[in-house]
């Protein structure tokens, strides 16, 4: 005998079954489509943005995101549980599709059956295990949500519906299977290929065939109704994310990572800049709000949220969603709250971890742009002063521009104005030019280059702030003015290659300036020095060093440079003990997003928190790669009462101490 | 040479800056007279001629009236120099007097070197020696450097 | 209501100053230029008044070389309606009386209801021009104000006196006020206003057309003061530092006597 089973056993395959079943199915799908059409109208309030180019890359994202659950399972525990549940449920869905395909199409029309033999055995076993895994994972998630409840996880009626419906569908499925097996398969070899169904069958066996048939028929129709309910519920509940989150993988920003959209400030047609109304955002921004499942991963990692500041990236995204769907006339900035908007350090921890590919940072910067460009508002007077200082002196510190190159006196380097024939242009940045602590890093870098025989030039007093802090703070106009001046200057000197020791300068020159007709290669100093090590130009004498290493947001998450700096430290003889939050999970120093210009008035200090994490790692030295980080750590060490216990250093300092002489 | 020192009185108190003006006159080595819109209950310890106007009558702040009172004394004393404190009172009154007398006003004088007033420029980053074209010199002077 | 605000472009005080070849002023090279801080308060207050009184027209005036137009553009972006530039490459050689005379000559037949100026400039610090303009035009003036309001033709202001004391002063318009630190927080120009400012009227006339007087003083020599004694850097923890400081103040000064 060939292994198989009768499809539509006990419920019949006639019009009385198929007609109501298909009518219900099509009606449910119609409700779903109609409800989504309505939502599409809401998305369409947003401005256009191209998110359907580069289809192969986008489809790959979709497949990885949905089928492999690659973003979801990055967080062990609930992420893996969701992944396993998804795979289980997805297999059940595929199994159901196969049944429909055979019973209502291939068999009905052509007399072809494929659910038989060994394939049927495998089919039965896989679906049974899938169902079990789905139930167990769902149970685990239920316990997490309603019994353990991690901090910040909020449950609404939506969540109860989702859990209840899924449980009911899965259990009723097994009841159907069990009732059928109790009548047709008990004591056969086939039954062992449906181990979970067999458990149900044995439990139900005592009822007798008549009752079992009634139970089966009832459970079958009930299961069908539940599934119809599920389809109908998709657009109205969190089930929505099955479509929206999946599509968001397709629509995801393909990079460069974290690059902001440049505004056309000269466009006379534009009356308002930045976002204050929902129509100022793009349709993708609104779609994002529909893709959020409130998993709170962003909030868990947000440095502002973790230091009692009023920002939660998750809440902000959902507030934008509420405006889009329920209150489209509302002012976004008021709804999202200015303090929350100003609290962001653009560290990208939220966006990096988001399993729904939501883009938080761009929305925040868009609202900041509106505040700055349209209202002349800043988080504090000190920020406005820094902006004005930058307008006057080209640096937010307010130091006379003419002294920008003073640090390099007596180092044997010239400005490009004096000698433009150089191997690299070192774009120094404001902090390494003016801040006493960071000048040491600039000097160390020059020393390293000189020992490697590299001829370095600087712009000296002609260099201006790259504009990064201003841009992230929303001042697109000032950023573009600074960028235009720097670009014209650098291009005129015919520079071949630019190296920066500030990840903010690096990110800006290497990504943001690309919109402004700037093509010269830009390299971060860690990558550049590693290159010099590899070519043998730079020679280090390894000397022991026990340290922890901080990934700055703009070298790490924004540019994926994690290994070059670690390789440098290790080559120098360093042993790195990682902090708990490292690499893509690194915790911000507090100074990104233009916050370097702002006082941290709300909540506790981010830099102190990070410095304490470094101390907990157990090494006496904290090595970093960014002038903002170094500045914040020097300050944080004092704030955390760790003076004398934790030393803050830049990689260049570590290396220069180990130069072969 | 004679200097007319414009002393200050406020809220029933003679202001200390008044004595700085005396010190200034001594430093420059000029004889002096003093003008004050104040009260005879708190007279300055000053040995020279004091012209006192009653502030209860002329009020503590009334630029037009104070200007006229001061101009009357100037007419009488014919000083080569009128000295004000570097204060809100001096800033307000000095330009009015300078214009009325068609005289130069040299502000923020921090020292006098060989008869040439030296004023502070650019947040005290620089100093400048000032040459006044007419003979008379009007000088609200900075307080601290004179002590 | 017709309003005039007078502004000066000054070097940023953080700049590296160098004395010129004649030794009578600083050189322009390597200086960053900005609006005199006190004039920013004046512009802000003038713009607020303009916004308060419907149908007002606000003119910003500045004297100096071509570069002062950049600073004037900021005032226009902050909300001034039109600019009047008195072009004078030698403005640094003019004394406060000459500067005030040019302004008065410009303003005398324009019927300004209110004129705002800074209380002094950051570079020369003469604190004369505003009051001189008022005296020349025979207008009442209130100097060093830190609070301003206008209602039914009357200006009410608070003057800042020394020692934290304020004086309430009022007068009828037309009048002139000179603005002191603390009056307001100057606004940051919005982008649309920066763009609009580029298209606003900005007339420029040579200083000779308005200069009818001779100066009364000139800078004979400018120089860097000798550093006397230099600073004393104290090091240690906060409590020790406080004790050290008190000791020094007691021993070397009369501050705590």
State how far residue B106 is from chain C, nearest Cα, in angstroms.
Answer: 7
Across chain A, mean pLDDT equals: 96
String of b and e for A183-193 (b: at least 16 CB within 10 Å)? bbbeeeebbeb
**A225 and A187 in a common domain:** yes
Residue C18 lies inside a defined structural domain of this protein: yes
pLDDT tens-digit profile of C126-168? 999 999 999 999 999 999 999 999 999 999 999 998 888 899 9
Residues A424 and A509 in one domain: yes
If pLDDT is split at 50, 70 and 90, which confidence band does C252 have?
A: low
Question: What distance in Å separates the CA atoms of residue A28 and residue A17, rounded to the nearest whole number?
Answer: 17
Q: What is the mean pLDDT of residues A236-242?
A: 97
The answer, for C36 touching chain B at a CB cutoff of 8 Å, is: no
Domains and CATH numbers, chain B: 2-146 (3.40.50.620)
* pLDDT above 70 (res A637): yes
Domain assignment present for residue C233? The answer is: no
- With a pLDDT cut of 90, the percent of chain A lying above it is 97
Q: Give yes or no for a contact between A126 and A165, defined as CB atoms under 8 angstroms apart.
A: no
**Pairwise CB contact (< 8 Å): C144 & B88:** yes
For A601-612, write each residue's pLDDT tens digit. 999 999 999 999
Show the 3-state SS of A283-352.
HHHHHHHHHCCCCCHHHHHCCCHHHCCCCCHHHHHHHHHHHHHHCCCCCHHHHHCHHHHHHCCCCCHHHH
Asked whether residue A144 carries a pLDDT value surpassing 70, the answer given is yes
Number of structural domains, chain A?
3
Q: What is the mean pLDDT of residues A373-381?
A: 97
Chain B residues near residue C162 by CB distance under 8 angstroms: 15, 87-88
Is residue B76 scored above 70 in pLDDT?
yes
Q: Is C4 helix (H, G, I), strand (E, B) or coil?
A: strand
Q: How many structural domains is chain C composed of?
A: 1
Lowest mean pLDDT among A245-254, B58-67, C31-40, C244-253: C244-253
Query: pLDDT confidence of A51, banded at 50, 70, 90?
Result: very high
Q: Which domain covers residue C99, as residue numbers? A: 2-209
- CB within 8 Å of chain C, chain B residues 15-34: 15
Pick C227 or A631 by higher pLDDT. Answer: A631
Confirm whether C179 is domain-assigned. Answer: yes
Reply yes or no: is the peptide bond before residue C174 cis, omega within 30 of 0. Answer: yes
Find the CB nearest B96 among C95, C135, C216.
C135
Q: Report the C-alpha gap between B101 and C135 in whole angstroms.
A: 12
- pLDDT at residue B138, rounded to an integer: 53
Residues A86 and A168 both lie in one domain: yes
In this complex, do B61 and C224 lie within 8 Å of one another by their Cβ atoms? no
Query: Do residues A540 and A572 touch, judged by C-beta distance below 8 A?
Result: yes
Nearest-CB residue to B125 (from C17, C120, C141): C17
- CATH number, domain with residue C110: 3.40.50.620
Let me know the angle formed at the C-alpha of A118 by A115 and A122, rounded to the nearest 5 degrees: 80
- C257 pLDDT more than 60: no
What confidence tens digit (pLDDT) does each residue in C200-210 have?
A: 999 999 999 99
C161 inside 8 A of chain B by CB:
yes
Give me the CATH number covering residue A190: 1.20.950
pTM here? 0.93
Kindly indicate the confidence band of residue B143, based on its pLDDT and cuts at 50, 70 and 90. Answer: very low
Pairing label, strands C154-160, C82-87: unpaired
pLDDT at C51 over 80: yes
A554 with A591, same domain: the answer is: yes
pLDDT for the residue C48: 98
Please give the residue range of the domain that contains residue A507.
398-531
For chain C, list the contacting chains (3+ Cβ pairs, <8 Å): A, B
Would the CB atoms of C14 and A399 count as touching at under 8 Å? yes
Query: Has residue B144 got a pLDDT over 50?
Result: no
| Rounded distance between C-alpha atoms, residue A523 and residue A443, angstroms | 18
Residues of chain A with pLDDT > 70, as a percent, come to 100
Same domain, A469 and A577: no
What is the per-residue pLDDT across A197-222, written as a single tens digit (0 to 9) for each? 999 999 999 999 999 999 999 999 99
CA A301 to chain CA centroid, Å, is: 11
Sheet of strand A414-415, all strands in order from the earlier edge strand to the far edge: A414-415, A456-458, A424-427, A498-500, A522-524
Contact in structure between A364 and A341 (CB atoms under 8 Å): yes
Please give the pLDDT value at position B61.
87
Rounded to the nearest 10 degrees, the angle between the axes of helix A209-233 and helix A15-43 is: 20
- Asked if C97 lies within 8 A of B99 by C-beta distance, the reply is yes
SS3 C212: coil
B145 touches chain C (CB under 8 A): no
CB–CB of A240/A290 below 8 Å?
yes
Q: How far is C16 from chain A (nearest CA, A)?
A: 7
Tell me whether residues C190 and A381 touch, CB distance under 8 A. Answer: no
Cα A336 from Cα A321, distance rounded (Å): 11
What gap in Å lies between CA A614 and CA A194, rounded to an integer? 53
- Compare all CA atoms of chain C with the CA of B98 and give the residue at the minimum distance: C132
Q: Does residue A181 fall inside a structural domain?
A: yes
User: Is the pLDDT confidence value at B141 over 90?
Assistant: no
Those of residues 82-111 in B touching chain C at CB distance below 8 A are: 87-89, 91-92, 94-96, 98-100, 102-108
> Is C27 domain-assigned?
yes
Are A397 and A430 within 8 A, CB to CB?
yes
Question: Order of strands, edge to edge, in the sheet holding C82-87?
Answer: C166-172, C154-160, C141-151, C175-179, C114-118, C2-7, C57-64, C82-87, C202-206
Whether residue C34 is contained in a domain is answered as yes
Q: Residues 46-105, chain C: which have Cβ within 8 Å of B?
A: 95-97
Is B10–C165 a contact, with Cβ atoms under 8 angstroms apart? yes
Chain A: closest CA distance from residue C144 (Å): 22
Chain centroid offset of residue A211 CA = 53
Q: Touching check for C143 and chain B: CB below 8 Å?
A: yes
CA distances from A532 to A497, A498, A525, A528, A535 (A): 14, 15, 10, 6, 5
Q: Is the pLDDT of residue A41 over 70?
A: yes
- Any contact of A with B, at least 3 CB pairs below 8 A? no
Using CA atoms, how far residue A428 sits from A50, A443, A568, B51, in Å, is: 35, 10, 20, 65
On the question of pLDDT at B133 being above 80, the answer is: no
| Tokens standing for residue C48 | 């607020």
Distance between CA atoms of residues B100 and A409, nearest Å: 54
Q: Would residue A609 count as lying in a domain?
A: yes
Question: Quick one: A180 and A148 in the same domain?
Answer: yes
* Residues with Cβ within 8 Å of residue A506, at least 6 apart in sequence: A500, A522, A523, A524, A554, A555, A559
pLDDT value of residue B147: 26
Distance, C-alpha B36 to centroid of its chain: 10
Residue A77 lies in a domain: yes
Q: Does some domain include residue A321?
A: no
Closest CA to C50 of C77, C79, C84: C79
Chain C positions in Cβ-Cβ contact with residue A461 (cut-off 8 Å): 30
Min Cα–Cα distance to chain C from B138, Å: 11
Contact C5, C60 (CB under 8 A): yes
User: Phi and psi at residue C179, in whole multiples of 5°?
Assistant: -100, 135
The reply to whether A490 and A613 lie within a common domain is: no
For every residue of A129-145, DSSP letters joined together read: HHHHHHHHHHHHHHHII
Distance CA B29, CA B44 (A): 20
B78 and C CB contact within 8 Å: no
| Cβ-based contacts of A273 with chain C (< 8 Å) | 191
Count of C-beta atoms within a 10 Å radius of residue A56: 7
CB pairs under 8 A between B and C: 124
**Quick check: B130 and C169 CB within 8 A?**
no
Residue with tokens 């090590």: A533
Domain match, A502 and A555 both: no
pLDDT in the model for residue C229: 56
Rounded (to 5) percent helix, strand, coil in chain C: 30, 30, 40
From the list A378, A381, A400, the residue facing C16 with the nearest CB is A400
A-chain residue closest to C198, CA distance: A266
**Which chain B residues are within 8 Å of C97, Cβ to Cβ?**
98-99, 104-105
Specify the pLDDT at position A42.
Answer: 98
The answer to whether the beta carbons of residues C140 and C105 sit under 8 Å apart is no
| Residue of C95, C123, C144 with shortest CB distance to B91 | C144
Strands (DSSP E) found in chain C: 2-7, 9-11, 33-35, 57-64, 82-87, 114-118, 141-151, 154-160, 166-172, 175-179, 202-206, 217-223
Neighbouring chains of A at 3+ CB pairs under 8 Å are C
CA distance A27 to chain C (A): 52
* Contact list, C71 vs chain A (CB under 8 Å): none
What residues of C are in contact with residue B124 (Cβ under 8 Å)?
225
User: Would you state the pLDDT for residue C253?
Assistant: 58
Where does a domain end: A531, A546, A565? A531
Owner of token pair 């429909």: A100
E-only strand ranges, C42-174: 57-64, 82-87, 114-118, 141-151, 154-160, 166-172
Residue of C32, C71, C73 to mutate when probing chain A, most A C-beta within 10 A? C32
Q: Which residues 6+ apart lie within 8 Å of A436 measured at CB?
A: none
| A461 and A557 belong to one structural domain | no
Of B107, B122, B123, the CB nearest to C127: B107
Residue C251 in any domain: the answer is no
The string of pLDDT tens digits covering residues A428-470 is: 999 999 999 999 999 999 999 999 999 999 999 999 999 999 9
Is any Cβ of chain B less than 8 angstroms from the Cβ of C120?
yes
**Do residues A425 and A518 both lie within one domain?**
yes
A400:C33 CB<8 A: no
Residues paired with residue B139 on neighbouring β-strands, in sequence order: B83
pLDDT of residue A440: 98
Q: Which of A110-124, A502-516, C240-254 shows the lowest mean pLDDT across its residues? A: C240-254
Point out which residues pair with A622 in neighbouring strands.
Answer: A548, A648
Whether A171 and A230 share a structural domain: yes
pLDDT at B145 over 50: no
User: Cβ separation of C131 and B92 shorter than 8 Å?
Assistant: yes
pLDDT mean over A582-592: 97
How big is the A-C interface in CB pairs under 8 Å? 51
Mutation to test the A interface, candidates C30, C185, C191, most A Cβ within 10 Å: C191
H or E element in which residue C247 lies? helix C238-252
Is C155 part of a structural domain of the chain?
yes
Q: Which of A509, A531, A553 is the last residue of a domain?
A: A531
Q: Does A405 share its domain with A457?
A: yes
CATH assignment of the domain containing A410:
3.40.50.1860
C13 in B contact zone (CB under 8 Å) = yes
- Residues of chain C in contact with residue B15, where contact means CB-CB under 8 angstroms, are 162
Q: Which residues of A touch C (CB under 8 A)?
A: 265, 271, 273, 372-378, 381, 384, 387-388, 392-394, 398-403, 461, 476-477
Nearest Cα residue in chain C from A476: C191
Range in A88-92, A136-140, B58-62 with the lowest mean pLDDT? B58-62
Q: How confident is residue B12, by pLDDT bands cut at 50, 70 and 90?
A: confident
Do the domain assignments include residue A380? Answer: no
Query: What's the pLDDT at A661?
Result: 73
- A590: domain CATH number? 3.40.50
| Predicted local distance difference test score (pLDDT) of residue C255 | 55
Q: Given A273, A375, A400, which is nearest C12 (Cβ)?
A: A400
The single residue listed with the structure tokens 């369409």 is A44
Q: Is residue C215 part of a domain?
A: no
Determine the Cα–Cα distance for residues B59 and B36; give it in Å rounded to an integer. 12
Judged by 3 or more CB pairs under 8 A, whether C touches B is yes
Q: Which of A224, A250, A276 is the last residue of a domain?
A: A250
pLDDT value at residue C254: 53
Q: What's the CA gap between C4 and C42, in Å, rounded? A: 10
| Cα first-last separation, chain C | 54
């Amino acid at each position: 005998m060939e292994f198989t089973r009768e499809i539509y056993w006990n419920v019949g395959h006639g019009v009385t079954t198929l007609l109501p079943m298909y009518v219900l199915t099509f009606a449910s799908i119609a409700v779903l489509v109609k409800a989504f059409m309505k939502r599409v109208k809401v998305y369409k309030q947003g401005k256009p943005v191209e998110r359907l180019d580069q289809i192969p890359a986008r489809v790959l994202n979709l497949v990885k995101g949905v089928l492999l659950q690659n973003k979801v399972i990055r967080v062990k525990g609930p992420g893996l549980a969701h992944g396993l549940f998804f795979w289980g449920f997805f297999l059940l869905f595929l199994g159901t599709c196969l049944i429909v395909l055979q019973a209502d199409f291939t068999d009905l029309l052509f007399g072809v059956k494929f659910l038989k033999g060994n394939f049927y055995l495998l089919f039965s076993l896989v679906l049974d295990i899938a169902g079990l895994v789905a139930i167990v994972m769902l149970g685990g998630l239920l316990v997490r949500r309603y019994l353990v409840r991690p901090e910040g996880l909020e449950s609404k009626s939506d969540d109860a519906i989702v859990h209840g419906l899924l449980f009911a569908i899965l259990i009723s499925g097994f009841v159907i299977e069990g009732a059928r097996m109790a009548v047709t398969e008990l004591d056969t070899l086939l039954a062992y290929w449906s181990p979970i169904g067999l458990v149900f069958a044995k439990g139900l066996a005592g009822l007798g065939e008549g009752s079992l048939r009634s139970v089966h028929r009832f459970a079958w129709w009930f299961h069908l109704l539940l599934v119809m309910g599920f389809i109908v519920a998709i657009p109205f509940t969190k089930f929505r994310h099955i479509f929206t989150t999946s599509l968001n993988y397709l629509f995801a920003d393909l990079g460069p990572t974290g690059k902001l959209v440049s505004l056309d400030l000269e466009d006379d047609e534009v009356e308002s800049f930045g976002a204050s109304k929902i129509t100022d955002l793009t349709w993708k921004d609104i779609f994002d709000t529909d893709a959020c499942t409130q998993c709170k991963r962003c909030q868990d990692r947000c440095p502002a949220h973790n230091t009692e500041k009023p920002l939660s990236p998750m809440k902000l995204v959902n507030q934008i969603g509420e405006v889009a769907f329920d209150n489209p006339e509302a002012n976004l900035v008021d709804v999202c709250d200015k303090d929350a908007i100003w609290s962001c350090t653009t560290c990208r921890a939220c966006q990096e971890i988001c399993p729904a590919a939501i883009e938080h940072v761009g929305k925040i910067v868009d609202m900041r742009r509106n505040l700055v460009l349209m209202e002349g508002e800043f988080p504090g007077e000190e920020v406005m002063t820094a902006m004005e200082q930058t307008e006057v002196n080209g640096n937010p510190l307010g130091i006379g521009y003419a002294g920008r190159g003073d640090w390099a006196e007596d180092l044997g380097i010239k400005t490009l104005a004096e000698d433009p024939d150089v191997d690299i242009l070192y774009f120094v940045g404001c902090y390494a030019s003016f801040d006493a602590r960071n000048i040491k890093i600039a000097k160390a870098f020059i020393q390293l280059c000189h020992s490697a025989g590299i001829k370095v030039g600087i712009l000296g007093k002609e260099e201006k702030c790259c504009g990064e802090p201003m841009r992230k703070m929303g001042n697109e106009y000032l950023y573009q003015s600074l960028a235009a001046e720097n670009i014209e200057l650098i291009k005129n000197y015919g520079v071949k290659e630019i190296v920066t020791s500030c990840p903010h300068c690096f990110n800006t020159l290497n990504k943001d300036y690309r919109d402004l007709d700037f093509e010269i290669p830009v390299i971060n100093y860690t990558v550049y020095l590693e290159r010099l090590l590899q070519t043998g130009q730079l020679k280090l004498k390894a000397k022991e060093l026990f340290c922890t290493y901080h990934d700055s947001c703009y070298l790490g998450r924004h540019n994926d440079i994690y290994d070059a700096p670690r390789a440098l430290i290790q080559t120098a003889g360093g042993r790195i003990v990682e902090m708990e939050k490292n690499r893509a999970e690194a915790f911000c120093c507090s100074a990104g997003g233009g916050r370097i210009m702002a006082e941290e008035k709300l909540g506790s200090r981010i830099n102190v928190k990070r410095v304490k994490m470094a101390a907990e790692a157990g090494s006496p030295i904290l090595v970093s790669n960014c002038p903002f980080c170094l500045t914040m750590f020097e300050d944080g060490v004092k704030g955390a009462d760790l003076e004398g216990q934790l030393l803050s250093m830049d990689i260049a300092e570590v290396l220069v101490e180990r130069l072969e002489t | 040479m004679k200097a007319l020192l414009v002393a200050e009185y406020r809220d029933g108190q003679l202001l200390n800056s008044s004595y700085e003006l005396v010190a200034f006159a001594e430093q420059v080595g000029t004889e002096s007279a003093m003008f004050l819109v104040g009260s005879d209950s708190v007279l300055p310890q000053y040995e020279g001629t004091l012209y006192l106007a009653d502030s209860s009558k002329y009020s503590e702040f009334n630029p037009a009236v104070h200007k006229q009172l001061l101009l009357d004394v100037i007419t009488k004393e014919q000083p080569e120099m009128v000295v004000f404190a570097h204060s809100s009172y001096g800033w307000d009154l000095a330009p009015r007097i300078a214009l009325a007398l068609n005289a130069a006003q040299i502000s923020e004088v921090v020292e006098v070197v060989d008869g040439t007033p030296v004023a502070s420029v650019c947040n005290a980053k620089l100093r400048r020696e000032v040459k006044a074209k007419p003979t008379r010199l009007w000088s609200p002077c900075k307080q601290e450097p004179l002590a | 209501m017709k309003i005039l605000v007078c502004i000066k472009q000054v070097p940023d005080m953080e700049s590296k100053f160098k004395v010129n070849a004649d030794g009578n002023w600083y050189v322009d090279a390597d200086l960053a230029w900005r609006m005199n801080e006190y004039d920013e308060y004046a512009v802000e207050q003038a713009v607020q008044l303009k916004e308060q009184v419907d149908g007002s027209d606000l003119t910003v005036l500045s004297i100096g070389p071509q570069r002062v137009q950049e600073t004037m553009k900021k005032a226009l972006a902050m909300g001034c309606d039109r600019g009047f530039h008195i072009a004078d490459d030698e403005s640094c050689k003019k004394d406060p009386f000459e500067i005030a005379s040019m302004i008065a000559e410009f303003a005398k037949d324009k019927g300004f209801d209110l004129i705002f100026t800074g209380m002094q400039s950051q570079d020369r610090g003469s604190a004369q021009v505003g009051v001189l303009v008022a005296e020349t035009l025979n207008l009442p003036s209130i100097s060093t104000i830190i609070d301003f309001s206008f209602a039914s033709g009357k200006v009410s202001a608070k003057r800042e006196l020394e020692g934290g004391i304020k004086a309430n002063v009022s007068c009828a318009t037309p009048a002139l006020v000179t603005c002191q630190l603390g009056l307001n927080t100057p606004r940051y120009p919005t982008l649309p206003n920066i763009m609009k400012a580029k298209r606003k009227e900005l007339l420029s006339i040579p200083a000779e057309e308005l200069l009818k007087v001779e100066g009364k003083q000139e800078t004979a020599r400018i120089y860097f003061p000798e550093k006397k004694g230099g600073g004393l850097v104290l090091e240690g923890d906060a409590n020790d530092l406080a004790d050290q400081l008190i000791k020094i103040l007691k021993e070397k000064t009369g501050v705590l006597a």
